[in-house]
Amino acid sequence: SVSWVEGGEDGSVASWELRVEGRLLEDAKNDPNKVNVKRKFSSFFKSLVIELDKDLYGPDNHLVEWHRTPTTQETDGFQVKRPGDKNVRCTILLLLDYQPLQFKLDPRLARLLGVHTQTRPVIINALWQYIKTHKLQDTHEREFINCDKYLEQIFSCPRMKFAEIPQRLNPLLCPFNTDDVVDDYWVWRMQ
All domains of the chain in start order, with CATH: 2-24+36-98+177-187 (2.60.40), 102-175 (1.10.245.10)
Torsion (CA) 29, 30, 31, 33 in degrees, nearest 10: -140
The predicted-structure confidence for 9-60, as pLDDT tens digits, reads as follows: 787 888 999 999 988 776 556 666 666 678 888 988 889 999 999 999 999 9
Per-residue pLDDT, 98 = 77
Query: Contact 5/14 with Cβ under 8 angstroms?
Result: yes
Nearest 5°: the CA angle 170, 174, 136 is 45
* Residue scoring higher pLDDT (184 or 157): 157
The predicted-structure confidence for 105-132, as pLDDT tens digits, reads as follows: 999 999 999 999 999 999 999 999 999 9
Torsion (CA) 114, 119, 123, 126 in degrees, nearest 10: -70
d(CA 171, CA 3): 48
